[in-house]
Amino acid sequence: MKFALSVTIKGSREWTGISKCEIDEVLSKAENLKKGIDGEFKINVDVDKDIKLEILSDYRAHSLFARIKKILVEHTGKKYHIGIKEIFVDKYEILFKTDKPPLKPVSVPFADVRFEGNLCNVSVKNQDEKFLTNNYADRIINLIREKISKQYYEGKKEYWNLLWSSERKEMKFDKDPSEEMRKRGWIFQISKGKWFYFPQAALMLNVMKTIAVEDFVKFAGFREVIESNIKPLEIWLKTGHIYGMPNEIYYVANPKTRDESAWEHFKDVVKITKNIPKEELKDLVDINYGITYAQCPMIYHALNNKTIAEDNLPLKIFEKTVNSARYESGGTHGIERVDEFHRIECVFIGTPETLLELKENIIERYKFIFNEILDLEWRMADVVPFYMQHAGEAGDAKRDIAVAKLWKGTVDFEAYLPYRGSREENQWLEFQNLSIVGDKYTSAFNIKTQRGELWSGCTGIGLERWLVAFLAQHGFNYDDWPEKFKKYIKKEETEKGIKFL
């Protein structure tokens, strides 16, 4: 890699009393400047009213500059009582090779990017000191590599490996359950991807919740927590959601002020026009939050910088009160793919060995529920880990999992939907998942224990998808439902709807 950095340093007053030779001598004698640096570098100095530095290096010039700045501050402050007022990046060029040449043009913020084969030239101009001190250069390099990797990855079929499949079962229904619920008056569509559930549908969702909570969550020893449905955006910065899938988040705007006078014109326009002036509204609010995408980020945030006592491990907690919201654009369908849905999130934290044992226990309990209570035809598959998808990370998931000392990844639980066609050709519904994410989040949120390494995992239960999988296979005739399922609901309860004239 080659780096060429040109900066201008403005002092608290002009540098006219300092010579180029003096700065050259100070830098040449500074032992800390060369310590630990693998590679050659050259520093060119010019002094007038400002100090101008040019760093030509095989090493990260922005890191070198941080050392140079510290040396200059100490020398000029002590001898001349001059401090550094401002630093400007006039130009920064970086040359490096990527593993493969890009398949299409690559662009990133703050820089112009050019390629000759797999040789990348990054050119940055007119930035402030923050570009150097906040390590933007390294992140730009990593982002370019990631984008090229994604270009090759996008052309591949997603990794999917069948782990287990239930026996083939006789289907009692072959229609779209969401459409059937709509015809029966069980559900009403509020807007795209958002539904109102009338008593029968609400009852069925609550039955699914009862089964999930009583026969899995509490049975497995998870303890309940309650979180806010409104998340600070900074949480998703740590988990990767905000740059992995910002186009799927529902954002929350809070008023800039409650001052009545600031809102008077807006209110008057609404009263007169009976319309909402959205452009004016944008100027009155700030976007600092988002609605829950999944419950686990807030759980990790609540544990940020905490040390968990060993006798509390594995820590097993769950959340079931907040709704999740994900913008699906044109991808919504029925109640199984929606913008707003009801979800139970279970998070578990412990040693890697403990979590792998817990994973097997969780799978066995799910098998009991899906086989014995819901009596579904379903299967399990090893897939691209959800945390790689959410963070926008590309790569060979199969390879990444294989090289891990212990298993990390995501298992999808998929149900056959008869209305979509044959088992072999239709897309089965992912109605459940289970992930072990290693130290990704325990490291990001600095969650520790007294001794050893902590991993975490999660399993999300989508109640709408449980319901769709059940009704798609068993239909709406109570007499066709599994006997063990009927213990949770009486026939007459399913018939008590709202009568409209």
Q: How confident is the model at residue 313 (pLDDT cuts 50, 70, 90)?
A: very high
What domains does the chain contain, in order, with CATH numbers? 2-153 (3.30.70.1920), 160-249+293-490 (3.30.930.10), 255-288 (no CATH)
| Confidence check: pLDDT of 347 > 70 | yes
> Nearest-5° angle of CA 155, CA 156, CA 159?
150
Burial 461-491 (b: 16+ CB within 10 A, else e): bbbbbbbbbbbbbbbbebeebeeebeebbee
| Confidence check: pLDDT of 398 > 60 | no
Catalytic residue among 22, 54, 129, 430: 430
For residue 501, what pLDDT is reported? 87
DSSP of 243-295:
HHSGGGPPEEEEES---HHHHHHHHHHHHHHSS--HHHHHHHEEEEEEE-S-S
Structure tokens at 79: 């001898």
For residue 426, what pLDDT is reported? 86
CA 483 – CA 374 distance, rounded (Å): 9
Catalytic residue among 60, 120, 458, 464: 458
Is residue 50 annotated as part of the catalytic site, yes or no? no
Is residue 44 annotated as part of the catalytic site, yes or no? no
| Amino acid at the residue 207 | V
CA 59 – CA 264 distance, rounded (Å): 57
Is residue 328 annotated as part of the catalytic site, yes or no? yes
For residue 151, what pLDDT is reported? 87
Catalytic residue among 180, 412, 414, 464: 412
Structure tokens at 95: 């040359």
Is residue 458 annotated as part of the catalytic site, yes or no? yes
499 by DSSP, 3-state: which? coil
Q: How confident is the model at residue 433 (pLDDT cuts 50, 70, 90)?
A: very high
- Give percent of the chain above pLDDT 90: 85
DSSP of 152-189:
HHTTSPPPEEEEEEPPP---S--S-HHHHHHHTTSEEE
Q: Residue 327 — φ and ψ, nearest 5°?
A: -75, 110
Catalytic residue among 328, 396, 400, 439: 328
Q: Is the peptide bond before 105 cis (omega within 30 degrees of 0)?
A: no
Structure tokens at 419: 């209305």
Angstrom CA distances, 219 to 212, 215, 231, 466, stand at: 9, 6, 29, 18
Q: 188-228: per-residue pLDDT in tens? A: 999 999 999 999 999 999 999 999 999 999 999 999 999 99
Torsion of CA 479, 480, 484, 485, to 10 degrees: -90
For residue 155, what pLDDT is reported? 56
Q: How confident is the model at residue 64 (pLDDT cuts 50, 70, 90)?
A: very high
| Confidence check: pLDDT of 388 > 70 | no
For residue 385, what pLDDT is reported? 62
Chain-centre distance for alpha carbon 41: 39
| Confidence check: pLDDT of 395 > 70 | no
For residue 152, what pLDDT is reported? 83
Q: 243-302: per-residue pLDDT in tens? A: 989 999 999 999 999 999 999 999 999 999 999 999 999 999 999 999 999 999 999 999
Is residue 168 annotated as part of the catalytic site, yes or no? no
Angstrom CA distances, 354 to 299, 358, 448, 470, stand at: 20, 6, 15, 32
For residue 16, what pLDDT is reported? 83
Which residues 6+ apart lie within 8 Å of 245 measured at CB?
389, 390, 392
Q: How confident is the model at residue 401 (pLDDT cuts 50, 70, 90)?
A: very low
114 by DSSP, 3-state: which? strand
Catalytic residue among 67, 337, 365, 420: 337
Which residues 6+ apart lie within 8 Å of 60 measured at CB?
3, 137, 138
Catalytic residue among 215, 227, 319, 345: 345
**Out of 30-44, 179-193, 385-399, least confident range:** 385-399
The secondary structure of residue 420, as a DSSP letter, is G
Catalytic residue among 296, 319, 336, 382: 296
Catalytic residue among 93, 227, 319, 326: 326
For residue 157, what pLDDT is reported? 62
Largest CA distance in the chain: 95
Angstrom CA distances, 323 to 211, 217, 292, 460, stand at: 18, 18, 7, 12
Structure tokens at 58: 């095989």
For residue 35, what pLDDT is reported? 84
For residue 149, what pLDDT is reported? 87
Is residue 412 annotated as part of the catalytic site, yes or no? yes
Is residue 296 annotated as part of the catalytic site, yes or no? yes
- Give percent of the chain above pLDDT 70: 94
CA 405 – CA 384 distance, rounded (Å): 18
Q: Compute how many other C-beta atoms are within 10 angstroms of the C-beta atom of residue 167.
A: 6
> Nearest-5° angle of CA 12, CA 17, CA 20?
105
Q: Compute how many other C-beta atoms are within 10 angstroms of the C-beta atom of residue 122.
A: 20
Instruction: Specify whether the CB–CB gap between 307 and 445 falls below 8 A.
Output: no
Order of all β-strands in the sheet with 230-232: 230-232, 285-291, 251-255
